[in-house]
Amino acid sequence: MSYKRRVSAVLAMLLLSGCTVSGGKPAAEELNLALAGMDGKDAVTFEGSAALLIAGKPVPESALYYGGKVQDHNRISLYSLLPDEAGEIRTASEEGSMEKLGGSKASTPALYTKLEKKNGEWQPQQSGEAGRLAGLNPLQQLEELQKPDTQVTEESGSSGGTRVLRIRLSPDAAKRQLSEELEREMQAIRQESDAESAGQTAEVKEAMNALWTQKSKELEQRIDEAEVTSVYFMKVDTRHSLPKRLTWTRTIRYPGMRDPAAGEAYVTKVDFYGYQ
């Protein structure tokens, strides 16, 4: 084989394995090191945002800003963040009130929950709207990256001391992820419904159960028909092998959609800092 062909073959192998041409670690190895680095820390603070886009346009009422702290690896405080009229950021306290970061209180209700990992599952201590914050758990998002059917590559544009990794779930894993999340949501709704109908007649309870069953089946059918993609981008601090930022985009398209921009996209971004 000629020298030129040997060089081309080596470059192709590097690209296929997710390596950088400059001789850095393979992208998958960098990801594993960052996840292990996170596991080795007792605490970390995070702040993020989430939003739903339909046909490429954000849905204003879906926007949510949140923050929290991980402690002892398996306990998380998670709360919503909202700007007040003066533009200052307020954070939900444990009592459910809104507090300005300066310490003064406001009366606007907000979302706050605690999560704890038990028997391999993250469990919120609150139900209802606050319990739904559990879906923004950044550690659970990081756990998704450890699934075997993922494709890990490096993005261009990394700056000194950082690398940006692209992690894509397989189509089956992406759809399974969505199905599991919606199943948890539906079960939470059923628990709320059961609590609300505790004092109702048997006929009302039966009607509510029938409605839940109908909507659950419709949801399953929609998921079966959908084309789901789930892609993460992790910015890694390579000096310390720790995640700095994780963004996630899940897109859902249905048969008959001709425009690639059509459909729904759920986007989250979370920054990690204050490792201890």
The answer to whether position 42 is within a domain reads: yes
Q: How many CB atoms lie within 10 A of CB 165?
A: 23
Q: Is 68 left (phi over 0), alpha (psi -120 to 50) or beta?
A: left
- Model confidence band, residue 252 (pLDDT cutoffs 50, 70, 90): very high
What's the domain count of the chain?
A: 1
pLDDT of res. 97: 38
Contact yes or no for 259/45 (Cβ under 8 A):
no
Structural domain containing residue 201: 25-53+60-268
Q: Residue written as tokens 């990992």?
A: 117
Say how far apart CA 258 and CA 276 lie, in whole Å.
Answer: 49
Q: Residue written as tokens 């926007």?
A: 63
The answer to whether position 220 is within a domain reads: yes
Say how far apart CA 247 and CA 70 lie, in whole Å.
Answer: 18
Residue 167's closest CA among 156, 148, 187, 151?
151
| Span 149-193, pLDDT tens digits | 899 999 886 677 899 999 999 999 999 988 888 887 787 777 777
User: How far from 14 is each of 6, 17, 120, CA to CA, in Å?
Assistant: 12, 5, 36
Please, which residues have CB within 8 angstroms of residue 20's CB and are 6 or more apart in sequence?
14, 154, 163
- CA torsion angle for 171, 176, 179, 181 (degrees, to 10)? -110
The answer to whether position 139 is within a domain reads: yes
Give the rounded distance of the alpha carbon of 101 from its chain centre: 25
Q: How many helices (H) and strands (E) does the chain have?
A: 6, 14
- Model confidence band, residue 2 (pLDDT cutoffs 50, 70, 90): very low
- Model confidence band, residue 132 (pLDDT cutoffs 50, 70, 90): low
- The overall average pLDDT reported for the chain is 79
- Model confidence band, residue 198 (pLDDT cutoffs 50, 70, 90): confident
The answer to whether position 17 is within a domain reads: no
The helix/strand/coil state of 11 is helix
Contact yes or no for 205/131 (Cβ under 8 A):
no
Residue 70's closest CA among 270, 236, 209, 222?
270
Say how far apart CA 222 and CA 238 lie, in whole Å.
Answer: 41
Q: What pTM, to 2 d.p., does this model score? A: 0.77
The answer to whether position 97 is within a domain reads: yes
The answer to whether position 3 is within a domain reads: no
The answer to whether position 244 is within a domain reads: yes
Least-confidence region, from 86-95, 185-194, 196-205: 86-95
The answer to whether position 147 is within a domain reads: yes
Question: Residue 275: pLDDT above 70?
Answer: yes
Contact yes or no for 241/33 (Cβ under 8 A):
yes
